[in-house]
Each structure stands twice: as structure tokens, then as C-alpha cells.
Copies of this chain bind each other. A is one copy, B any other.
Amino acid sequence: MDKTPDWVAVDWGTSNLRAWAMTAEGRVLDEATSDKGMGQLKPDEFEPALRELTAGWTQGPIRVIACGMVGARQGWIEAPYARVPGPPLPEGLTHAPSRPDLNVGIIPGLAQSDPADVMRGEETKVAGFLALNPDWDGTLLLPGTHPKWISVSAGEVVAFRTSLTGELFAALSGHTVLRHSVTTDGWDEDAFLAGVSEGLARPEALMNRLFAIRAESLLKGLQPPAAKARLSGLLIGTDLAGARGWWLGARVAVLGAGELLRTWTAALAAQGAAPETADATEATLAGLVEAWRRSQ
């Protein structure tokens, strides 16, 4: 099988680099991943990392469309933010400096002025989701380290809201006294849903309810799977409380994968929402294909 691609689609985040060998028609020939995320690369290390990952596909000239933190200020080159409200894929890519046989166009992130907010990479998922679901209006939820609630209407991003929920869970689990209570591979779904309800109903109690996880471990034998699931639920529930206007009575689709997709969807469903779901990687790829098409 000839795998020489017409172009390469790249999702380059803080922790990982993922590339797909593509045909001009948007068909995937092959894919490759590496742990050379933007977080560990200096500006002059991006080109070698990308060449290394794609060397098996072609030695000839290569065109690349990339999204994600590769376009951050600390990335290969800063791709200036586009503004919302506006389309998820505005005109124009930022071209990264490289030898001339490599042509890399980076999709701009989106910035919102008030409240101040930013995204890099998620705009491509939104574009891909809309390409796969034309005329879809509603709220997209992208769970993750920094979950994003994104309001979409008539093909444009109207507004969005990022939270620190996922990273907060990691910091609490790894770097506070709660690590003694929540370290486990286990999970207790009832404890998770109870945590969601509690966080949603009483977000003002969070500071105390976090410590109570430790106290119940000491006094009442709260087990690690329940403690970990309750912690996750409390944080997601608090996020749902603040984002109530984004999901209550709205059409919602959750774009994700694996446990993150499952838990956020379960949390919303338990509160009476009926979220649709979609695969985040498919959305990313569809968004990169959409950007490729427009650049022709």
C-alpha cells in the first residue's frame, strides 16, 4: 500500500504529538504518535520532532496542518488568537519557520475578551464536530484538564467558558493531604454521583467538603475508591453549578473519550440533562480536514 500522504494532519498538545498521513480527499492512510509534546520542546526542536515522526511516510516535500499548543507563545511559533464571537476556523493559518520542503500551517486559537478566556486546539474539534453535524446549535462540552463549555450557533462560537476542574483534581489528588485518601485504581459510581449532587447543590461548601474526605477516611473508614470518586464528583458538580446556564434546558453534546467522556455524561444525565456524545479524536481529525480544504 502506498502511504505517501498528500498532506499530514497534526494535533500537537502540551503532552503529546499526534499525526495522520492523509490523502487529498481526507482519507487517513496511517497515523503516528509521540510523547514530544509542546511542553518539553524549545522552538527549534519542533521541526526535528515532526520530521522524525513522519519520516516513514515520505522524504519528499510535505504539507502540514496543525492545531493545539504548538501555536502557543511557548510553542513553535505563536499563532495569534482569533476573536469570538466568530467561526471556529477563521481565515488564515500561521506558518511555522522551517526548511522549505516542510510547509506547516498552524490553526489559530480563539480568545474571548469578557470574561477573558482562551482555547487552542478545541476550536478545531468544534469545527470538526460542526462539519460532521451541520446546522447543530447548542452547547459543546469538552472535558479534560481544562474543561470547556462552548456555545455554538449558526456555525459560530458565540462564547465559551473554561474551568480548572481537571487540573484541580490532579493537584488535589497528588499534592495535598487528600493523596492519602484517594490513591487507588478503583471507582465508586454511587459516591461519584452523590459528589456531583452535593457540589451542584452546595458549591459554597466546597472548601469544607474537600477536607471532609480526609476526615471521613480517618474517622469513618471511607475507602479510597469512594473517596476518589466523591472528590471527582464534588469538583464536577461545582463546575456544573457555575455552568448551569450552559447546560440546563440546552442541547448539549459532550466531545471526549474514555472515562472522562463517560463520567461527565453520567453527571449531566443524573441532573436530568440528555447529552449527546461524540468522539473527540474524530472531531479533531474532521476539523483538520476542514482546515486543509479551506487552505486549498
By a beta-carbon cutoff of 8 Å, the part of chain A in contact with chain B is 73, 81, 111, 113, 115-118, 146, 161-165, 167-168, 170-172, 174-178, 202-208, 210-212, 215-216, 218-220, 235, 238-239, 241-244
User: Closest residue of chain B to A208, judged by CB?
Assistant: B163
Selected from B111, B113, B161, B171, the residue in CB contact (under 8 A) with A208 is B161
> 12 more A-B contacts (CB under 8 A) besides A163-B211, A204-B204, A206-B242?
A115-B215, A116-B212, A117-B211, A162-B208, A164-B211, A167-B176, A168-B176, A168-B210, A170-B175, A171-B175, A203-B204, A207-B235
Known A-B contacts A116-B216, A167-B176; A241 and B204 likewise in contact (beta carbons under 8 Å): yes
A-B complex: 3 closest residue pairs judged by Cβ atoms: A163-B207, A204-B241, A203-B204
Contact between chains at A219 and B111 (CB < 8 Å): yes
Residues of B within 8 A of A115 (CB): 208, 212, 215
Residues of B within 8 A of A163 (CB): 207-208, 210-211
User: Closest residue of chain B to A178, judged by CB?
Assistant: B164
Known A-B contacts A176-B164, A204-B203; A118 and B242 likewise in contact (beta carbons under 8 Å): no
Residues of B within 8 A of A243 (CB): 208
Nearest-neighbour CB distance to chain B for A115, whole angstroms, equals 6
Residues of B within 8 A of A208 (CB): 115, 161-164, 239, 242-243
